[in-house]
Every structure is written in C-alpha cells, then in structure tokens.
Copies of this chain bind each other. A is one copy, B any other.
C-alpha cells in the first residue's frame, strides 16, 4: 500500500496457496458517510485510502431516498469506482463501502460487501471488518429455521439476525443481532434514515468517527479521513454503537463498558503508517519498535537495510538507535501487480527477484542488518537472505520488529494455519537456520508494550492489547472451533461462474 512503509499483505497473499482455506476469515476496510452530495465519490476515495486493508474486491451501497443502490466489483477501487458511470449509478447522499481481502475459492461476487437485506418497510446494508467466531454455529441454526444464506461470508449472519429480529426499531434490531455475535467486528450499516457504526466489546478492529462539513463519517483508519480533507473527531469506543441521523449522533453501550483491547497487529503491520490509532502515530510506533529492537538485540554491523516496504520505519528506528547507517539495500519493483496471476515456470523459479532486487553497491562486503516487521512462514525471508548473500554481504543479521507469531488469528487477519507458522514449528535457532541468517532476533513481547508506552510491559492480568498471535491469549470464545460444531453437514454451493 503506502510507499516505503507498507504492510505485508502481499506477502500473506502469496502464502495463500498453502492455506487450509478457512474461507470465513478476511481482513477488510470500511467507510460510511451521511448527508453529502458526493457521498459515493467520497466513499470511493475513502476506500482507496483503505485499499491496503483489502485488494480483492470493493463495494459501495447508497440510499437515494427511494431505493438502495449497489455497485460491487472484484478488483481494486481504482479499477471500477473511478468511472463516472459507476459513481452516477450510486445516487444519494448516504453511502457505505467496503474493501475486501479474501482467500482463494471464495472470491465470488456474492461475498463482496456491503451485504443488503430488504426489510419490511425498510432495508439495511452492512459492511464488516473483523471476524465472527461463532458465525458458523449461528448459521447452522438460521438454516434450520428456514433462512436462505446466499453468501458464504460470516458477515451475512448478522444481516440474517437483523432480518429476523422482532424488535420494532431498526437500531434495536441491529443491537439485538450483534449481541448474539462473538469475535471481532467493526461494522458500518446503512438504513433508510441512519448511518450506524459499531465496534466489538474489546475494540479489536479499529473504527474512527470523522466529519466533513457537518456530514458524519465512519472509517477504519484516519488516513481515509485525510484523503478527503475530513476532520478526525474521535475513535468509536470498544463496545459502542454510534447512530448518525440528519438530526444528530447518538451513542449506545449495549454491553456495558470495559477496558479496550485493540489488536496490536494494527500497529505492527496492518494500518497505514500515516494513520493515527488511539492517539499513536503508526509510523512513530513502528520506529519505536525498531529502537527497542536495537536496544534488545544490538549487533555489530555496517548497514541497516529494511525489507521494503513494510520494514522501513522500524529500520529507520533501528538505525537511529544503533548509529549504523540506513540504506535502501533492497529495491522493490512495483510493477508486479498482476504478474503472479499466471506465472510461467521460469518466472516462478526466480521467486523473490521479481519483486525485490539487491542494491549490490550497498551490500557487497558489508555486515548487513535486515529489518522486517514480522515473520510469518519464513519462505520470503529465506529468499531475501539468500539474495543479500548473493550480492556479496559479509554477514546477514535478521531482525524482526515484532515477537514470533506462534498462533493463528481468528479475528479477521488471514494467517496461515498454525502448522505453517515458522515460529510454531521451530525454536529461535531452528528459525535462524531455516532462513539462513547469521543471527536472528525478534522484538520481545514486553518490548512491544514498552514501545507502546507501557513502561512495565504487558499487564498479564489485564493485557492492554489483543496479542494472541504471539501469546495464544484469545480474548473471546472461539465457538466455531469447538468440537461440537460440525461446519460441513449441509452441502454448500460452489459458485465458479
């Protein structure tokens, strides 16, 4: 996504061929605006700024005072939503939109959000970032009760629950529905008269409230406000339901209040570096991760080289702390966009070189510290270390600005199954040996918390963040994973065409 400092979503995507493919997991971005003449165009721009959160599909639904209008497409926001005709179809001053990253095989259009339900005398469209950990269980029950689920998305469950609620008011129906959901969610919903933003009780996924000339806005990150010149108002709080109408904004806390526990991974790699989360500049945090990492795992070296683009801020921090020069020792080729769709075998074998090349003049004969944000399966790191060695490096030291990822995510980040995670397979020496570095070091879990400003590190009684990928400490039940849930009894429809 962003230059010099992106998340590793492309890296993750590459891994997907090997995934076990629990297809209800995905990472996404959401946006909504109420009461602006250019609602659809502004939503398209907001989604463009959130493109790093999902590149496989995008959708927008508007309400024009009479009808809801929908455009949903596979591909990037810029592939479709820059066409005048598309924006013209999306009439009306209310709009919500979604960018989506999905796993192979379920990339069908039917799963592209916003999802919509016609209600008695109304209608509701919903966008979801996160993952419901009891969606399969609820879905089974809904189907037993006669519901027809057209998508295979976990997000449809909340729509079905809204449709079936016997509450009179739409906000009550919405709250009744989400009350039944477990897991992580930032939701933006659109009805005929209301724009609703909601965040799960722990505030795992981000959601902010902004304002553009009086029009309230919800967005996953502040960068989506910046692109359209909107003001940041505040974070939607954990467990909060914010309801915007032309008359004003109301706030509900249907689950009571408790301390937030946002996902630390938004800081590590997911959010855009120019976004501000909970008052922290993501870029600054990443630099601090690099600084603490340099303190914890210093090494004699000649040059600090980031793995582009995601390792850049941490590498700058590492270099500043260590006093070793920072150089762009790896050059990234940005033209690979669609290259991997049908690679020839010849191209496949060249692997990492299609995307990265060693800047030999900065590498040759030097002791190189490579800095990356995180290590997932290690297959790319392995190739990068080899490439740096081939370019003549005297030593290669690998430094990760996050702790070892030992556990899968179930809250909307598309991680491999545990067995594929390098840190779940090997100890530190095993990992070092696998990727072929001279030394390997990770930021400690307490280092993460200290970099976030918690001097005493992680509060193990009441952890300040959701950090299960490192600790295995999942804040919510993982109902669908329990042995009682048979997720496959009913034959599904595989829609290839």
- Per-residue CB contact flags for chain A residues 336-349 toward chain B (1 = under 8 Å, else 0) read 11111111111100
Point out residues on A near B: beta carbons under 8 Å.
1-6, 38, 41-42, 44-45, 48-49, 51-52, 55, 59, 61, 63, 66-73, 76-80, 82-84, 86-87, 89, 109-110, 116-123, 125, 140, 143-144, 146-150, 159-160, 163-165, 192, 223, 226-228, 272-274, 276, 281, 283-284, 308-309, 312-313, 316, 320, 325-328, 330-347, 350, 353-354, 357-362, 489-497
CB distance from A168 to the nearest CB of B (A): 12
Given known pairs A1-B333, A48-B335, the reply for A350 and B227 (CB within 8 Å) is yes
- A109: which of B109, B148, B228, B339 is its contact (CB, 8 Å)? B109
Q: Can you list 14 A-B pairs, Cβ within 8 angstroms, ordered by A?
A: A4-B328, A70-B497, A76-B337, A82-B339, A82-B347, A83-B344, A89-B496, A121-B489, A227-B353, A274-B358, A281-B362, A284-B362, A326-B326, A337-B337
Q: Do A497 and B116 touch across chains, with their CB atoms under 8 A apart?
A: no
Cα–Cα, bound, A109→B495 (Å): 12
Q: Which residues of B contact A223 (CB under 8 A)?
A: 331, 357
Q: Is the interface of A mostly helix, strand, loop or mixed?
A: mixed
Given known pairs A143-B120, A350-B45, A492-B67, the reply for A82 and B341 (CB within 8 Å) is yes
Cα–Cα, bound, A336→B337 (Å): 11
Cα–Cα, bound, A38→B159 (Å): 39
CB distance from A156 to the nearest CB of B (A): 8
Q: Do A357 and B2 touch across chains, with their CB atoms under 8 A apart?
A: yes
Q: Which residues of B contact A80 (CB under 8 A)?
A: 497
Q: Do B119 and A143 touch across chains, with their CB atoms under 8 A apart?
A: yes
Given A2-B331, A41-B347, A274-B359, 13 more pairs with CB closer than 8 A: A3-B309, A3-B330, A70-B497, A78-B335, A80-B497, A110-B110, A118-B492, A123-B491, A143-B163, A146-B147, A147-B163, A228-B350, A274-B361
CB distance from A366 to the nearest CB of B (A): 13
Q: Which residues of B contact A327 (CB under 8 A)?
A: 316
Given known pairs A331-B3, A346-B41, A496-B70, the reply for A150 and B150 (CB within 8 Å) is yes
Q: Do B359 and A84 touch across chains, with their CB atoms under 8 A apart?
A: no
CB distance from A386 to the nearest CB of B (A): 12
Q: Which 10 A-B pairs have the closest CB atoms?
A: A3-B332, A71-B497, A281-B361, A78-B339, A146-B164, A41-B346, A2-B331, A150-B150, A274-B359, A89-B496
Q: Which residues of B contact A77 (CB under 8 A)?
A: 335
What copy number does this chain have within its complex?
A: 4
Q: Which residues of B contact A78 (CB under 8 A)?
A: 335-339
Q: Do B360 and A274 touch across chains, with their CB atoms under 8 A apart?
A: yes
Given known pairs A42-B346, A491-B122, the reply for A89 and B497 (CB within 8 Å) is yes
- A71: which of B82, B117, B140, B496 is its contact (CB, 8 Å)? B496
Q: Do B45 and A346 touch across chains, with their CB atoms under 8 A apart?
A: yes
Q: Do A332 and B276 touch across chains, with their CB atoms under 8 A apart?
A: no
Q: Which residues of B contact A490 (CB under 8 A)?
A: 118-123
Cα–Cα, bound, A334→B220 (Å): 19
Q: Do A354 and B48 touch across chains, with their CB atoms under 8 A apart?
A: yes
Cα–Cα, bound, A239→B487 (Å): 38
Cα–Cα, bound, A149→B336 (Å): 35
Q: Do B84 and A328 touch across chains, with their CB atoms under 8 A apart?
A: no
Q: Which residues of B contact A68 (CB under 8 A)?
A: 491-494
Q: Do B361 and A4 touch across chains, with their CB atoms under 8 A apart?
A: no
Q: Which residues of B contact A72 (CB under 8 A)?
A: 495, 497
CB distance from A133 to the nearest CB of B (A): 21
Q: Looking across the interface, which residue of chain B has its beta carbon closest to that of A10? A: B334
Given known pairs A70-B495, A350-B228, the reply for A146 and B118 (CB within 8 Å) is no
Cα–Cα, bound, A482→B408 (Å): 57
Q: Do B494 and A69 touch across chains, with their CB atoms under 8 A apart?
A: yes
Q: Do B491 and A3 touch across chains, with their CB atoms under 8 A apart?
A: no
Given known pairs A227-B353, A328-B273, A491-B123, the reply for A496 and B69 (CB within 8 Å) is yes
Q: Which residues of B contact A110 (CB under 8 A)?
A: 110, 150
Cα–Cα, bound, A71→B150 (Å): 15
Cα–Cα, bound, A143→B4 (Å): 50
Q: Looking across the interface, which residue of chain B has its beta carbon closest to that of A192? A: B491
Q: Do B339 and A48 touch across chains, with their CB atoms under 8 A apart?
A: yes
Q: Which residues of B contact A49 (CB under 8 A)?
A: 333, 357
